Every structure is written in C-alpha cells, then in structure tokens.
C-alpha cells in the first residue's frame, strides 16, 4: 500500500484508510466483536494504517473495539477519533458540545477506551455554533502540548471555520463527504485546503455503498440503518441515480476492475493529499477497497469519467434537514 501525507503536517498514512463506524453503528446491527477485530487486523495486514472512529459510534463501542483490535500493533497505526456531542442515558445524541472542559473529558475517556496514551488525530465531529472555533482549536492545542493528542482535525466544517481554526492550531485534516456523487467540496473546500496545506479525508467515498452497484431501487435496509432517513436513498432517488452506477460499471469493466475500485481510484487521483476511508463489515469488500490503491487511471480515463458524470444530475439530498443543518458551518 502506498503512503500519503495529510497536507503539510507530516502525518503519513496509508493511501486508503478504514472507516470503522459501520462495524458498530449506523448501518444495521453491530458486527460480531471477534469478526470486527479480525477485519481490522486484516486491514492492517493489507497495508492500512489509518483507522477512523468516534465516541458517537455506539456511542463509545467503536472506540473500545478499535482499542482492543489495535492494541498489539498500536505503534504501527494512526488512530483518529472525534469529540463534539452529548449523549442521553439511552446512548442517543442529545446535542452538540464542544465546550473546552467537555473536549478535555472526551479526550481522557477516549484514551482509556482506545487503550493508548495519545490520540493521533482528534477531530471536532461537527462545528458547535455555541462555542467559538478559536476556543475549540485552543483546547486541542493545549492537549497537543500536554502529549494527549498529536494532530487536530475538523469534520464537515465550512471554509471560514477552517481558516479561523487553522490560525490558532494548524489543522492536519478535514474529514467530509466527497465522492463521484457528492462533489460539492470541489467548489471552495479543496482550494482552501490546498492553500493552507491541510489534508482531506473523504468519508462515504462509495456513496454509502451506492457506488458499488450492490444497491438498487428494490434494496431494503435494516430498520436501524441510517440510510432509511436519507433522501438520496428513497426508492425513487435510487432509481433516478442508477445511471451513475451503470456508468461506473461500464468504466470498471473496461479497466477490468470493480465499480468501487474505480470510484476510490478517482478520489485518489484528485489530489495527492486525499485519503479516503471506505468502511465495510465484509472481508471481501475490504480486499476490494484496498485493491483500489493499485488502480492507475490515465488522464484520458479521468476525462471520460468527468465528462460522463457531468451529464448526470444526482437526485436527493445527502442528509435529512435536521442533519443537513449541522454541516458546512
């Protein structure tokens, strides 16, 4: 697996990371612990060194899982986790919270769950409108000074927030959604990150599974699957968006690769400081995703993909309104 550096920070990670959320949250029942640990360790054996978690995934269960899985190889991997929410007694999110004292509490608790003495990359999960971003960045700066954290990250932040945070504590990476069916970051986010020397970690690089070709308008999701409330995943939207998947399939067939591999390779080809973090619960999908790092897309390939995709208008919002309100601040 090739390595990449996240912007100017010097933080080197595998070209493709592993998004771990789906192992315990968001996409149906949690994966059996032994199977999840085996998958995480197999990812490392295949060259993956960036593992992405958050206290919100579970909550807490994902960090505990990662801590157990990575304990034997802790010094060889980069662990990213996130802060920024309160939780009720049932484990549901009860609001944003990026107050400095709360960030500190989360850091200490996450270190225990992750079985480590330092968090490699600590993201604010969503921008908190009630706390100045300067206070957030300053708190993480203190945690870095104290040796509890190595790098500061933001998730789904807008350009002005990124600039303000970066002025207080250099931002190593921004994590936001980016893929062939969500290209909004190209407008303002990517130029800003390039200017400031910040790495980009796209989540949902396979469109929450849609770009793999494994989901159709008739697919049904588990009752606990987040996609049930996503406008882009209504049967009507899936039917309307099938053209994009068909197109990817045609390109993949020509290259003797899979649709998922072409979608990931396209992301890797956009900038040398982009590191996608596809998630999966299946070993064969993990192998497929890791294999995308070896796909060579020529300038002609990239032109044909862009030309074809530009003719397709993706239907449906990527979040329901209450979640859309939390992004791009």
Res. 231: pLDDT tops 90:
yes
pLDDT tens digits, one per residue of 85-114:
999 988 888 999 999 999 999 999 999 999
Q: Are 276 and 211 in contact (CB under 8 A)?
A: no
| pLDDT tens per residue, range 122-132 | 999 999 999 99
173 and 200 Cβ atoms separated by less than 8 Å: yes
The whole-model pTM stands at: 0.97
What mean pLDDT comes out for the span 170-183? 97
Q: Note the Cα 13 to chain centre separation in Å.
A: 14
CATH 1.10.3730.10 fits 3-206+270-295, yes or no: no
pLDDT tens digits, one per residue of 11-20:
999 999 999 9
Which 8-state DSSP code applies to residue 30? P
Greatest Cα-to-Cα distance within the chain, rounded to the nearest angstrom: 54
What confidence category does residue 294 fall into, taking pLDDT thresholds of 50, 70 and 90? very high
Give 215's pLDDT tier (boundaries 50, 70, 90): very high
Q: Is 176 within 8 Å of 203 (Cβ atoms)?
A: yes
User: What does the block give as tokens for 2?
Assistant: 């090739």
From residue 186, give the alpha-carbon distance in Å to each of 110, 220, 238.
33, 32, 24
Q: How far apart are CA 111 and CA 287, in angstroms?
A: 29
pLDDT over threshold 90, residue 225: yes
pLDDT band at 308 (very low <50, low <70, confident <90, very high): confident
pLDDT band at 219 (very low <50, low <70, confident <90, very high): very high
For the segment 139-155, what is each residue's pLDDT rounded down to a tens digit?
A: 999 999 999 999 999 99
Nearest to 281, CA basis, from 64, 16, 42, 67: 42
Which residues belong to the active site?
A: 57
- Domain range annotation of the chain: 3-206+270-295
Rounded to 5°, angle at Cα 299 from 297 and 302: 65
Looking at residue 13, its pLDDT comes to: 98
Q: Residue 300: which residues within 8 A CB-CB, separation 6 or more?
A: none
Q: What are phi and psi of 41, to 5 degrees?
A: -70, -35
CB 288 within 8 A of CB 205: no
Burial class (CB in 10 A: 0-12, 13-18, 19+), 133: buried
Distance CA 125, CA 137 (A): 13
């Amino acid at each position: 697996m090739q390595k990449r550096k996240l912007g100017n920070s010097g933080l080197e990670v595998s070209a493709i990371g592993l998004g771990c959320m789906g192992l315990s949250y968001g996409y149906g029942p949690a994966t059996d612990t032994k199977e999840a640990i085996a998958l995480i360790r197999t990812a490392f054996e295949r060259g993956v060194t960036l593992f992405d978690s958050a206290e919100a995934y579970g909550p807490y269960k994902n960090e505990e899982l990662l801590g157990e899985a990575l304990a034997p190889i802790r010094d060889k991997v980069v662990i990213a986790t996130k802060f920024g929410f309160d939780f009720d007694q049932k484990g549901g999110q009860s609001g944003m919270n990026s107050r400095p004292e709360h960030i500190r509490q989360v850091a200490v608790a996450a270190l225990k769950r992750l079985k480590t003495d330092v968090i490699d990359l600590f993201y604010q999960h969503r921008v908190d409108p009630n706390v100045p971003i300067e206070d957030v960045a300053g708190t993480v700066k203190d945690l870095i000074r104290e040796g509890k954290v190595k790098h500061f990250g933001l998730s789904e932040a807008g350009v002005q927030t990124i600039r303000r945070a970066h002025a207080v504590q250099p931002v190593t990476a921004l994590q936001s959604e980016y893929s062939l069916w969500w290209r909004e970051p190209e407008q303002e986010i990517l130029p800003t990150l390039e200017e400031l020397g910040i790495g980009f970690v796209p989540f949902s690089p396979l469109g929450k599974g849609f770009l793999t070709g494994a989901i159709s308008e008739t697919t049904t999701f588990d009752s606990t699957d987040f996609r049930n409330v996503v406008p882009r995943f209504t049967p009507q939207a899936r039917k309307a968006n099938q053209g994009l998947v068909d197109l990817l399939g045609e390109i993949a067939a020509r290259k003797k690769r899979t649709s998922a591999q072409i979608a990931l390779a396209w992301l890797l080809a956009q900038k040398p400081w982009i590191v996608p973090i596809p998630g999966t619960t299946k070993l064969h999908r993990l192998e497929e995703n890791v294999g995308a790092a070896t796909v060579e897309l020529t300038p002609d390939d990239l032109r044909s993909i862009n030309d074809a995709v530009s003719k397709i208008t993706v239907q449906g919002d990527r979040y329901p309104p209450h979640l859309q309100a939390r992004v791009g601040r």
